[in-house]
Amino acid sequence: MIEARNLVKRYGAKTAVNDLSFTVTPGHVTGFLGPNGAGKSTTMRMVVGLDRPTSGAVTVNGKRYTEHRTPLAEVGTLLEAKAVHKGRSAHDHLLALAQSQGIGRKRVAEVIDLVGLHDVARKRAGGFSLGMGQRLGIASALLGDPSTIILDEPVNGLDPDGVLWIRTLLRGLAAEGRTVFVSSHLMSEMALTAEKLVIVGRGRLLADTTVEDLIATATDRPVVVRSPQAGELGRLLVSTGASVTDVEVGELSVTGTTAERIGEVAAERGIVLHELHTERASLEQVYMALTRDSREYTTDDDTDAADQRAQQEQEVAA
Ligand SMILES: Nc1ncnc2c1ncn2[C@@H]1O[C@H](COP(=O)(O)OP(=O)(O)OP(=O)(O)O)[C@@H](O)[C@H]1O
């Protein structure tokens, strides 16, 4: 369990983390999201005592990281690329780390198997691919069999196999009752991996919620309608104030009204429907709307698209 209370971190005039409070609970993967420069890495560094908060506090299992007698047994981390002695084998790297923490050889063999590095464990880590390096970093994080795991962008640059492997591993670790806190910029991946989310923007908390609840807040979800009389139905819906886009022949995407209302309009005019459903919003859409004002680097296209979405939301909400 990670508990951050009123965390603040300033670097000179720059406030990287601003009065941030959140709790990361065991038993599920919690995604840590936010635009570039939002303060995610700084927060993670404060959790594990690599940075001191300017004010506020963060504890892991009720204690500050540095107060734990065997920190590796409490918290495993993969922060920026691990410093690995390039001439050393993966096995020797892990063994040196284990010995420095009073962890036995048996556990080294276990984590090597767990991350699938068995075949290359005796090879120089300097020759490892990005994916193998990530696996080694994760093996280091798991060495102390920690109840809390903190990973900063673990899927960065991995191929689809590696991404799937990390997703399965993280969900498995969470299912064992561990606290898993993981940052990422890949929303589609987070939607598949995480159950809960902490979202920050410009150092402040924007949301502390579940993926499901966050997606349910999306208000501009289009309704998809398939009908052999799509043209007639589309004209009718436009006359009631809805916005209608032809997706393909016989299929419409409708905003500004509800599936219920479309069904009623169709029934009143005896129009046959073959399909009627409200599209599920993607995590990415909701995230983009939520973080619109917090992005450090925003292209005009981004702003336009986000503005359009926000405007649609307001129209529907009105
Ligand atoms: N050591 C430092 N000195 C000065 N400013 C810093 C330092 N570390 C971070 N910052 C600034 O604090 C802000 C938060 O940075 P941080 O790396 O925590 O963000 P992030 O959310 O992890 O970003 P990204 O997604 O790009 O990795 C940024 O504006 C960054 O430039």
* Three-class SS state of 89: strand
Reply yes or no on whether the pLDDT at 85 is more than 80.
no
Could you tell me the pLDDT band of residue 317, with boundaries at 50, 70 and 90?
very low
Q: What is the ipTM of this complex?
A: 0.97
Q: Are 219 and 316 in contact (CB under 8 A)?
A: yes
pLDDT at residue 159, as a whole number: 87
Could you tell me the pLDDT band of residue 297, with boundaries at 50, 70 and 90?
low
**Alpha carbon of residue 49 to chain centroid:** 23
Q: How far apart are CA 163 and CA 180, in angstroms?
A: 16
Cα torsion 202, 208, 212, 213 to 10°: value is -100
Structure tokens at 9: 């971190």
Q: Is the CB of 45 under 6 A from ligand 1?
A: no
Q: How far apart are CA 245 and CA 240, in angstroms?
A: 15
Q: Is the CB of 37 under 6 A from ligand 1?
A: yes
Pocket test for ligand 1, best of 10, 20, 40, 185 (most atoms within 8 A of CB): 40
Q: Is the CB of 16 under 6 A from ligand 1?
A: yes
- Over residues 265-277, the mean pLDDT reads 96
Q: How far apart are CA 110 and CA 42, in angstroms?
A: 31
Q: How far apart are CA 103 and CA 53, in angstroms?
A: 30
Nearest CA to ligand 1 atom 29: 37
Q: Is the CB of 250 under 6 A from ligand 1?
A: no
Q: Are 255 and 314 in contact (CB under 8 A)?
A: no
- Over residues 109-123, the mean pLDDT reads 90
Q: Is the CB of 41 under 6 A from ligand 1?
A: yes
Considering the entire predicted model, what is its pTM? 0.82
Least confident of 17-21, 82-86, 249-253, 275-279: 82-86
pLDDT at residue 35, as a whole number: 93
One-letter amino acid at 268 equals: E
Q: Is the CB of 75 under 6 A from ligand 1?
A: no
- How many of the other CB atoms lie within 10 Å of CB of 55? 10
Number of H helices, E strands in the chain: 12, 13
pLDDT at residue 126, as a whole number: 81
Q: How far apart are CA 242 and CA 316, in angstroms?
A: 10
pLDDT at residue 83, as a whole number: 63
- Residue 270 CA neighbour count, 13 Å, CB half: 0
pLDDT at residue 314, as a whole number: 47
pLDDT at residue 310, as a whole number: 46
Burial (0-12, 13-18, 19+ Cβ within 10 Å), 161: exposed
Structure tokens at 7: 């965390």
Structure tokens at 124: 């120089």
**Alpha carbon of residue 34 to chain centroid:** 9
Beta-sheet strands, E only, within 168-242: 179-183, 196-201, 204-210, 223-226
Nearest CA to ligand 1 atom 31: 37
Residue tagged 């005019």 (tokens): 269
* pLDDT tens string 150-174: 999 998 878 888 899 999 999 999 9
Q: Is the CB of 27 under 6 A from ligand 1?
A: no
Reply yes or no on whether the pLDDT at 261 is more than 60.
yes
Distances (CA, A) of 41 to 74, 106, 108, 200, 278: 19, 32, 27, 11, 37
Cα torsion 41, 185, 170, 141 to 10°: value is -30
pLDDT at residue 309, as a whole number: 44
Strand order in the sheet with 251-255: 243-248, 251-255, 223-226, 275-278
Phi, psi for 243 (deg, rounded to 5)? -100, 130
Pocket test for ligand 1, best of 15, 17, 41 (most atoms within 8 A of CB): 41
Q: How far apart are CA 57 and CA 25, in angstroms?
A: 17
